């Protein structure tokens, strides 16, 4: 009887150890750049669509290190392999109910990454190449729920306006600058060129040539704010179109009512960004506006947060212990949005995923004193910030309204804090 029990225990223990080994092996899997894809297509027409039934996330892109700024989780093997017989540029996008990311390996072996081009949906424009493009679609953070994604692949014809120029220097621009600190330029907005010719999702009118070419010597996100002042005579709203060095195009989401300011924030890249300042409706007066440009260093994208939460309506108040950025990891937040000042760290203190309509009161209270700040990257790439709340130096603000992921940074008003200010993030449903 005793021997049977021991044998059973050994069998059970062996099974457990085997399961543990298998589990570790699964989570330790590396990206397979040349792996066989689940779906392979020879692209012959101008458009192809495919549904990925279940997004997987066993490979941490930041740990894989195949592309600068890459964050999120994908499966080891490609989801899709797209083969072309001639050199074409592809516009590859994914749509999902979850915050998704995309990684593309081009035939030449170059990796391209994108997170939020269209709200929380990624889109990548490749350069013209011939061969097999391997595509991974994953998630920004692991989740127990199962999500699917719709993938659209569009062949960009040689005459298509969305095709990336061979080199930024070949494009005549109104102004060319190298951005090393926040700059504000005066630009004349509008023109007769349809913004949709830059990208099918853009609306409004621009000039044919870019108004500004901005060179970034180091990898950073570019934030562009265009504002019409009170004295500007116009009956329409400003728009922006920005083409990144990799050829991705970002543009203003049109407002239903006339507004005086608009903004675009790109993913982190290095090189020359092309900017068109336009108007939502035709305006022969070419209204002049202030174009504020700020380079946001890569850490402000908030990769690898300390904590993640998904909140629903009626959630209980949360209190999360954390601390502000320290001196050796501080990056300036000045100018990345209205009321944004101070210094924040290389990773977000908290990712919060909210449904549409839910608004959350957010605050940070220190236990060791100090003047702290809050910087929140909203799902659309804009920033919400606060320095001093209603009492003392502790910041507070309200976030939410739009569905998606909010990346919360606790910062310091000065860049001389070696230890970080310890305290608590407090979140409660706004009444």
Which domains, from first to last, does the chain contain? 28-156 (2.60.120.380), 168-298 (2.60.120.380), 305-429 (2.60.120.380)
Distances (CA, A) of 300 to 68, 78, 170, 388: 14, 28, 31, 21
Mean pLDDT, residues 135-143 taken together: 86
More confident residue, 156 or 364: 364
Residue 322 — very low, low, confident or very high, per pLDDT cuts 50/70/90?
Answer: confident
Residue 297 — very low, low, confident or very high, per pLDDT cuts 50/70/90?
Answer: low
- Do 208 and 197 form a contact (C-beta atoms < 8 A)? no
State the pTM of this model.
0.44
pLDDT of residue 25: 33
pLDDT of residue 134: 94
Residue 56 — very low, low, confident or very high, per pLDDT cuts 50/70/90?
Answer: confident
CA–CA separation, 277 and 405 (whole Å): 28
| Residue 97: HSE in the Cβ half-sphere, 13 Å Cα cutoff | 9
Closest CA to 204 of 172, 156, 236: 236
Mean pLDDT, residues 188-216 taken together: 87
Q: For the CA atoms of 229, 233, 235, 241, what is the dihedral angle to 10 degrees?
A: -50
Lowest mean pLDDT among 6-15, 26-35, 223-232: 6-15
Mean pLDDT, residues 103-127 taken together: 84
Pairing, β 39-42 against β 80-95: parallel
Q: Most confidently modeled of 61-75, 295-309, 317-331?
A: 61-75
Lowest mean pLDDT among 7-21, 100-114, 240-254: 7-21
Instruction: Say which DSSP state 316 is in.
Output: P
- DSSP for 19-60, written as a single string: HHHHHHHHHTPPP-TTPPPSEEEE--SSEEEEEESS----EE
pLDDT of residue 327: 52
């Amino acid at each position: 009887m005793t021997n049977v029990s021991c044998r059973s225990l050994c069998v059970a223990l062996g099974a457990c150890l085997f399961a543990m080994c298998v589990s570790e092996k699964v989570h330790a899997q590396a990206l397979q750049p040349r792996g066989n894809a689940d779906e392979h297509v020879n692209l012959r027409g101008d458009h192809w669509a495919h549904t990925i039934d279940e997004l997987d996330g066993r490979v941490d892109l930041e740990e894989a290190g195949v592309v600068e700024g890459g964050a999120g989780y994908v499966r080891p093997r490609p989801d899709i392999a797209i083969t072309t017989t001639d050199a074409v540029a592809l516009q590859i996008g994914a749509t999902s109910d979850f915050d998704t990311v995309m990684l593309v390996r081009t035939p030449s072996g170059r990796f391209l990454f994108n997170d939020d081009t269209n709200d929380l949906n990624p889109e990548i424009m490749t350069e013209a190449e011939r061969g097999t493009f391997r595509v991974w679609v994953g998630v920004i953070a692991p989740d127990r729920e199962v999500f699917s994604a719709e993938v659209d692949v569009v062949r960009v014809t040689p005459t298509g306006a969305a095709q990336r120029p061979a080199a930024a220097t070949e494009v005549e621009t109104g102004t060319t600058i190298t951005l090393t600190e926040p700059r504000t330029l005066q630009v004349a907005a509008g023109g007769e060129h349809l913004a949709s010719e830059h990208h099918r999702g853009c609306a409004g009118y621009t000039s044919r040539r870019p108004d500004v070419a901005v060179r970034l010597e180091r990898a950073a996100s570019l934030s562009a704010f265009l504002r019409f002042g009170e004295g500007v005579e116009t009956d329409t709203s400003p728009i922006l179109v920005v083409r990144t060095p990799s050829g991705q195009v970002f543009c203003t989401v049109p407002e239903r009512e006339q507004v005086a300011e608009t903004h675009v924030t790109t993913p982190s890249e290095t090189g020359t960004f092309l900017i068109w300042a336009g108007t939502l409706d035709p305006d022969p007066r070419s209204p002049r506006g202030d174009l504020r440009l700020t380079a946001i260093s890569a850490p402000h994208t908030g990769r690898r947060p300390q904590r993640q939460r998904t909140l629903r309506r009626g959630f209980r108040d949360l209190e999360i212990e954390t601390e502000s950025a320290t001196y050796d990891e501080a990056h300036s937040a000045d100018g990345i949005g209205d009321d944004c000042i101070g210094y924040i760290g290389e990773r977000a203190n908290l990712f919060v995923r909210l449904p549409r309509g839910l608004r959350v009161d957010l605050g940070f209270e220190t236990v060791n004193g100090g003047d702290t700040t809050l910087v929140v990257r909203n799902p659309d790439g804009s920033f919400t910030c606060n320095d001093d709340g209603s009492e003392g130096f502790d910041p507070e603000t309200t976030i939410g309204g739009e569905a998606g992921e909010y990346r919360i940074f606790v910062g310091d008003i000065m860049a001389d804090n070696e230890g970080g200010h310890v305290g608590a993030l407090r979140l409660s449903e706004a009444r």
